[in-house]
Amino acid sequence: MKRRGRRGLYLFMVLPAFAGAAWGQGSGPMVVDLSRLSEDLEADFTLWRTGEGGAGEWILVTDPTAAGGRAIAQVSKDRTDYRFPLAVYKPYSGKDLEVAVRFKPVAGTVDKAGGIAVRLSTPDDYYVARANALEDNVRFYRVVKGRREQLASANTKVSANEWHTLALRAEGDRFTVSFDGKALTSAQDGTFPSAGKVALWTKADSVTYFDAISITTLK
């Protein structure tokens, strides 16, 4: 079963000022509550796209293997290679933070990937950590004026149609990417030193599900 809004679905109800969503006190993580959904996507969620091709299509899907039986999915199968749909959370901005998400790569022939973007200032400027089930690797990039530049990479098995955990820690100019609970790769870069938005990310024709999303502010 799928539920669609006019352009997508409201994803995050994180900060306590927004309808009292559950999250940890103090410096604990802000945890997404997927049971608190509204079809008013544009109130709190922006759909961006880096590169070429069509816009992403973000919907809520029922999945008995997801946390709470629901997941956020990017389901557009546009095969444009240099195409990166982004689902950007409006209310939150941060610089030093750790974002973690569970994702499941479901389909894709050009790519089968899911990722986390941080410090977004425009659709063409941000950092992104992503895992790819076709390539069996995890990589960290900076995207500058729409141009993607690899900063770090690690090979690891990324199974399709299985849930994995991806985490990106950004602290100053140091970045660490973890996969399934293990720190895999790190990099140092000062291209984007300021706070920015957080987003879910996919590539090309990747059909990818996301759940269990949390944001921890480090400072």
Query: Which residue, chain included where needed, has tokens 């590539």?
Result: 203
Note down pLDDT in tens along the chain; length 219 residues.
Answer: 444 443 333 333 333 333 333 333 345 788 766 666 555 555 667 889 999 999 999 988 889 999 888 888 899 999 999 999 999 987 789 999 999 999 999 999 999 999 999 999 999 999 999 999 999 999 999 999 999 999 999 999 999 999 999 999 999 999 999 999 999 999 999 999 999 999 999 999 999 999 988 999 997
Q: 141 - beta bridge partners?
A: 128, 150
Sequence-distant (6+) residues with CB within 8 A of 125 are: 143, 144, 145, 192
Segments of 123-206 assigned E as strands: 125-132, 137-144, 147-155, 164-171, 174-179, 182-188, 196-201
pTM, two decimals, is 0.86
CB atoms within 10 A of CB 200: 27
Distance CA 175, CA 172 (A): 8
Per the CB < 8 A criterion, the answer to whether 32 and 48 are in contact is no
Indicate the CATH number of 2-217 among 1.10.3480.10, 2.60.40.10, 2.60.120.560, 1.10.10.10.
Answer: 2.60.120.560
The pLDDT value given to residue 168: 98
Domain boundaries along the sequence of the chain: 2-217
User: Residue 178 is encoded by which pair of tokens?
Assistant: 């973890």
Q: What is the pLDDT of residue 59?
A: 87
Structure confidence at residue 60 (pLDDT): 82
Say how many residues make up the chain: 219
Q: What is the largest CA-CA distance in the chain?
A: 44
Alpha carbon 102 to its chain's center: 9
Contact in structure between 76 and 54 (CB atoms under 8 Å): yes
What one-letter code names the amino acid at 123?
A: P
> In 3D, which of 50, 29, 34 has the Cα closest to residue 94?
29
